[in-house]
Amino acid sequence: MDQLPKSVIKYLNKYTFGYWALESNRLGKIENVIVVPVIAEYEYLRVLFDSLLTNHNKYFSKTALIVVVNNLADSSSEVKTDNQKSLTFLRSIIQKSNLDDPLIQKAINSNLNICLIDASSPGLEMPNKIGGVGLARKIGMDAALNIFDYNSSRKKIIICLDADCTVDSNYLTTIVDEFNSKNSSAAIVKYEHNIEDNSLTAHAIICYEIFLRYYVLGLKYANSLFAFHTVGSTMICDYESYIKVEGMNKQKAAEDFYFIEKLAKNYKIEEIVSTTVYPSSRSSWRVPFGTGQRVGRFLSNTQNEYLLYNPKSFDILKEWLYIFNSDEAKTSQDFLNSAKNIHIELFNFLMQQNFGSDWSGILENSTSSLQISKQKLKWFDGFRTLKFIHHLRDTAFPQVDMFVALNEMFTRVGIKRDFFWYRKDLPAIDTQKQYLELMREIT
């Protein structure tokens, strides 16, 4: 193997957690790595493989698919048994055995570099305390750094995907071509949850995806620099940006939110919209929140899911960001006075977040307007933005009916459609789908 760049060696020495071996069928001159964490998802993994292998093979020989089969030491026997099926499937590809399986034969013949990391078998499990999707992603993404062809002048790209997804047939070629032609450092791919019928699960995922897209639409309306989706199966970065932000975190959930936010503080997040990832709409126990949890909660009917943040919250955010992100370097008191004039709960939130002392310190330690602009981005970041919207929800602007909120937000951004629903009862699922399709168009 060629000598790794010093920056990569430094990162691996400082931030890599533990050691898990990489098994592979072949490793050519790798420029692109797709990382897929898998836990009790054997059947989904096969569907994903079938989907990926329908892609054009233009970049297969220079692409590695790293599948991280993982569980904890105290995971259930059902999880471990399912993971063993995934391991057997992957090793059959790597070792070119079980050729009676058409999918295994297809994978062997594809020229795609198939790699496996076993973080599941006895003695190789992830630690109970920190094991989860964040660590699983991190294990695979860190491993990618060891196999890139650093002599290549092309981008070395790390692509995140999930086992319960399918992708368009132009998925890999589009990502590689756009990343290289735009010289991107970080990006997200367009996504659409699979909605296959009019079942209760379909209702659940329509409701949840509208919720996700409404928040991004609100941030776009407010001119937030964090107005992008944070879905783990859509994340892409190059190796330089991965190292710059100190790699993937070990969060058991919301690892995608925190990772993309770190990238956004340092790089423009590009959007790749000419190909699509299709996440599953299943209910899931795998993370404490996110798609699977929200679908499960919807199906359990424990609370009203058809609520969204009050659009007035984004009005307040828009006014604040207009002042805060202006070129003028105001003092802490100037900003706090402006905040009080906008809304008392904006002022209260800034005081709770120690804005006064923080901003005074930033001004004292900044030597240029560019440095101040970067500090603004870091202080009022995506996480603090979400906390502020939650603060307004809890103190001033309670959540409102989903379709009332959507209609009001569409009015703010100048959109009107004939299907908009103004009655108090829920619209039929076909109308809900029309709302979702519109949201997919604009976010």
pLDDT at 253: 84
Name beta bridge partners: 67. 36, 116
37/141 Cα distance (integer angstroms): 10
77 vs 82: CA distance, rounded Å: 9
Q: Per-block average pLDDT, block size 10, for the chain (443 residues)?
A: 88 95 93 98 98 97 98 96 98 94 97 97 96 97 98 98 97 98 98 84 89 97 97 97 98 92 96 96 52 67 87 98 89 97 98 97 92 94 97 98 98 97 94 97 97
How many CB atoms lie under 10 A from the CB of residue 331? 12
Q: Letter for the amino acid at 353?
A: Q
pTM for the whole thing?
0.94
Give the long-range contacts of residues 391-397, CB within 8 A, separation 24 or more. Answer: 391/345, 391/348, 391/349, 391/352, 392/309, 392/310, 392/312, 392/313, 392/316, 392/345, 392/349, 393/309, 393/310, 393/313, 395/345, 395/348, 396/313, 396/343, 396/345, 397/309, 397/310, 397/312, 397/313
What is the predicted pLDDT for the residue at 285?
A: 41
Hey, what amino acid is at 406? L
Domains, in order of start, for the chain: 6-202+223-288 (3.90.550.10), 311-395 (no CATH), 399-442 (no CATH)
* The dihedral formed by the CA atoms of 425, 427, 428 and 429, expressed in degrees to the nearest 10: -120
Predicted confidence at residue 289, as pLDDT, reads: 46
* pLDDT for residue 134: 96
Residue 12: what pLDDT? 97
In eight-state DSSP terms, residue 124 is: T
Distance CA 365, CA 329 (A): 13
Residue type present at position 357: S
Of 141, 288, 316, give the one whose Cα is nearest residue 224: 316
Residue 128: burial class (beta carbons within 10 Å; 0-12, 13-18, 19+): exposed
Distance CA 37, CA 233 (A): 10
Record the tokens describing residue 159, joined without a space: 């692509």
